[in-house]
Structures are given as structure tokens and as C-alpha cells.
Chains A and B, each alone.
Chain A
Amino acid sequence: MTATDRLGRNALSVRPIGGSLIDQFELGLNAPICLTWELTYACNLACVHCLSSSGRRDPRELSTAQCEAVIDEFQAMQVFYINIGGGEPTVRPDFWHLLEYAIDHQVGVKFSTNGVRVTPERARFLAATNYVDVQVSIDGATAEVNDRVRGHGSYDMAIRALENLSDAGFMDAKISVVVTRENVGQLDLFKALADRHGATLRLTRLRPSGRGAEVWDDLHVTATQQRELYDWLLKAGDNVLTGDSFFHLAAYGEPLPGLNLCGAGRVVCLIDPIGDVYACPFAIHEEFLAGNVLAPGGFDNVWKNSELFADLRSPQTSGACTKCQFFDSCRGGCMAAKFFTGLPLDGPDPECVLGNSEQALMEIGRTIPPASQDHSRLDPRRGAEPVLVQIGALSPGRPPAHACSESPLADFHASAL
């Protein structure tokens, strides 16, 4: 019997003995390896590509006591470290308490920040604390490129945070960059920026998730840039972190360092500020909602018994991709990228380097799934965090699909820089 579920995956799976780690990971683990926990949807910025559509605090946000209970569960499940994000996690008044609480319970923390609360005093505290890693988000190696996406003044704020950290003797902070059409030409500058601050550069892929869906057409790297990015990453090797987010580029030939696998629900998951558990940080949508940590059985039960995660851990049917010679390294690419561009989950990634999704992206009938949550600020206060330039508005008469699939430079306007 080969029953298939709604994601088109076979319902039966038998775990092999031995074999490659990827084969094992596909069938899931007792606890996640890479767990992201967004502590709040509140954010002082309003980045155009925010994958969680953050801005306003959700009134249902987990209380301090509820957060502590979740950390207790991590300890019991031996989740050795977590990535904390948001929103801007440091705007939660109990953020520093929860950080210490996690570390005291054998749960290491890496947190992502735009730098707003990384004062010299906090930087000294962080430098004196073990098992904490700080990741500062910057999306341009110059204020001009960064602030167009993250908002006026955000570059200076991030650089100040990095300076405070290095002045305090904090070792090896991370600089996290979402690679876009506008900053991909600055990779060497980013690396130099990281080196200057004794930091490690981390590059990740722009996903069409959250508000990213609105700007993806205009900001995702062109085909030509994608090839340059791949060559740059191969050369950089282990010196640059990627969160294993570029495995779809493996089809250029050589796989990149890291795990070449979609880890959603298998080794990765996301807990949002109200305790909802999603398959991955790029899939905050009811379609990928596995449960809530406040329900009986808690996070442990969601991770081990949710139907969605069982589906994701079953062997999947990958349609035409299975016939591709690069299927073993790319595995059809990113589930979230496909979903939020309205592509079938059992087909190629929208940024398939062989161009196998071009036809599907041109389809007139392709529908982008509507967002199932949005915490964007409805009326950004004047001067608080307006985004300087409107990116993403479709010009009238422009086809719904990507002109850049035909010509890599078709969408590239000089005014964009």
C-alpha cells in the first residue's frame, strides 16, 4: 500500500540502519538540532523583507513563566542550543533574564538583533557570559544599501552594536546578511567588515516569506548573480556561515559545505512568540503549523507526534526533480520558497539553477498563498521607522512572473542603487 498524504509523501517509512546522516535526518530526530524561537513580533524596525512580518507585539505573547517552562522542556529534551529571534528579541523587558535562564539550564543561546539594545554595558555582560552568541543583522555593507531595506539609521545602529561588542572583548560575533540583488556585489566588503570587527560573516538566502513575498520579485538575486554567489561561497568555504541555506546552488556542480537538505520538521523548527510551532523559520503559515507549546504535552509532544512533522519525515515524492542528475545534492530545494511563490512542493525550487522552474513561474494561473498572520505596524509613526524607498510595487502592465528569468538584467534598474 502506498498511501500518500496531502504533501504528496508516502505515509510509510522504515529507518535504515547506518547509511548517510542525510538519510537519517530526513526521517527526523528525537529533538531538533536547529531550533529558532522568536520571542516577540515587536520590532523597532520595519525591514521590507521581514520573514515574520514583525512590527507589533502580539497580545498573546508567551509570559516570562511560560517561556521558562519552554526552556525547561528544551533542557529535558536536550536541545543543546537555540536561536532566538523576533521581531527584535531584546525589546522584551525579560529578554536578558530569559537569556540567563536558558544558559543556566544547559541551553546555549544565539540571538539575532538589529543592535538596538546592545549598549556598551550589555556588551560587557555578553562578553562575560559563556554559551551566548550574538548575531547582528546587516543587509548592506554601506548605509546606503542597508538602509533602503532595513530603514534609515539601521546601519549605524548595527555598526555601533558591533563596536560595543568588540570594545567589550566579545569574541566572534556574527554578522548576518540576507543576500539580495542589491547587496550581492558587496560580498567582499561584508567579509572585510566582519574581519574588521573580529566577527564571522553569515550569508543567508532571501526567502519570499512574510513581507519578503512582496519584495522577492525585485530583490532576489538574478541568475547571473546566483552563479557569482555560488563561486564566491565555494571559495570562502568554511570561513563563511550560510545556515545551510544555499543548498539549491549545489546543482551548479560541487555541493557547498554544510547540510544539503531541507531540515523543516526534521532537524529544524520554529516556535513563534505565541508558542505556535512551525516547520521552519521561513514557513510561518497555517499550512506549516504543527501545534502549540501551551497545549497538553507541550513542545515535546508537538515535535514527536504532530501529523505535519510525521508527513515531513516521510519519504517525499519530488516529481520531475527526481530525474535530475543533481537531485541528491539539491533535493528539490526550499519548501518555503516554493510555497510562497505559489509553486508545487513536489517540483523545482523557484531559483533552480538549471532554470527548471522558469516555466512554472511564468504560469498565469500561479497564485501566491495569502499570508495567515501579519504583525506589521499598520501606521508606522512618523520618523519611527519608515522605509525610505518603496520596493516591490508591481508596475502596471508588467507580467506577474519574472522578467529576470529571461534576461538576468531585465529587472535591474540603475536607480535601485
Chain B
Amino acid sequence: MPSAVTTMLDEPWRLSPDVALRPEPFGALAYDFGTRRLTFIKRPELVTVVRGLAAGPDVRGALKGAQVPESQWPVFVQALESLAAAGTIQRRSSVTTS
């Protein structure tokens, strides 16, 4: 497992405050009111993970909460990293839930 994966797994993340999620048949549409950018989340399980980020202590907790099999975590972390790059999700400053 690459180190980036393990790092993110133990970090606290959340949906960015400027971003709203709209449920869609394929997953969800994320709209950033700040950048006016649309991002598409193409898997319903990933939407569950993203929605669960803020409630848990770390990404690992959100993946467990969404019942994502551990074998798929690297793929999900990769997807989360691209959402992070788009500004859809962001790292929380502390481990406390927001």
C-alpha cells in the first residue's frame, strides 16, 4: 500500500463548507459555490464515504462506516485524493468532529 494511502487513512477530512452534494442516480453531483465548479461522484458508495467523513475521526472510519471492503480502500483513497485536488473535500484541522 503506497504511503499516501496509509497517511490519508489516518487523517481527519470533511466535505468542504462551500460544497453541496446533490444525489443523482449515478452517485452525486458536487457543486462548489466558491469556485462554481461541478464535480461528479460516480459511485454511490463513494458518496456515502464523503458524507461520512466529518462524522468520524479519520478516513478509515468513514470507509468502515460505509462498509467498503478493505481490499477496495486503495481505490477509494485514490478517488478521495482527486476530490481533494478539486477542493470538494478538505482536511480538517483537528480530529474533533465538525
Contacts and interface: CB of A to CB of B under 8 A. Distances in A.
A29 B20 contact: no
B91 to A, nearest CB: 24
B2 interface: no
A230 B42 CA distance: 31
Interface centre among B26, B31, B36, B43 (most CB of A within 10 A): B26
Question: How many of chain A's residues touch chain B, expressed as a range?
Answer: 10 to 19
Nearest to A33: B38
A74 to B, nearest CB: 12
19 contacts: A15-B26, A17-B26, A21-B26, A21-B40, A24-B24, A24-B26, A29-B25, A29-B29, A30-B22, A30-B23, A33-B38, A78-B22, A80-B33, A80-B38, A81-B31, A106-B33, A108-B33, A108-B36, A133-B36
Nearest to A110: B36
Interface string A4-18: 000000000001011
A78 B33 CA distance: 12
Interface residues of B, number: 14
Contacts of B33: 80, 106, 108, 131
A106 B32 CA distance: 11
Contacts of B43: 18
A81 B36 CA distance: 9
Contacts of A29: 24-25, 29
Nearest to B44: A17
Interface in B1-43: 20, 22-26, 29, 31, 33, 36, 38, 40, 42-43
Interface in A129-146: 131, 133
Contact of A27 (B23, B25, B36, B40): B25
A123 interface: no
A81 B34 CA distance: 12
Contacts of B22: 30-31, 78, 80
Interface of A: 15, 17-18, 21, 24, 27, 29-31, 33, 78, 80-81, 106, 108, 131, 133
A18 B20 contact: no
A199 B57 CA distance: 44
The 4 closest A-B pairs by CB, nearest first: A80-B31, A78-B22, A24-B26, A30-B24
Contacts, number: 41
A15 B26 CA distance: 8
A24 B36 contact: no
Nearest to A133: B36
Contacts of A24: 24-26, 42
A131 B31 CA distance: 12
A78 B22 CA distance: 6
Given A18-B43, A21-B42, A131-B33, A78 B20 contact: yes
Contacts of B24: 24, 29-30
B38 A106 contact: no
A31 B24 CA distance: 8
A137 B40 CA distance: 30
A17 B45 CA distance: 12
A362 B34 CA distance: 50
Given A21-B40, A80-B31, A30 B25 contact: yes
B25 A33 contact: no
A81 B22 CA distance: 13
Given A30-B23, A108-B36, 15 more contacts: A18-B43, A24-B25, A24-B26, A24-B42, A29-B29, A30-B22, A30-B24, A31-B22, A78-B22, A80-B22, A80-B31, A80-B38, A81-B36, A131-B33, A131-B36
A305 to B, nearest CB: 15
A133 B22 CA distance: 22
A253 B33 CA distance: 35
A88 to B, nearest CB: 24
A354 B23 CA distance: 39
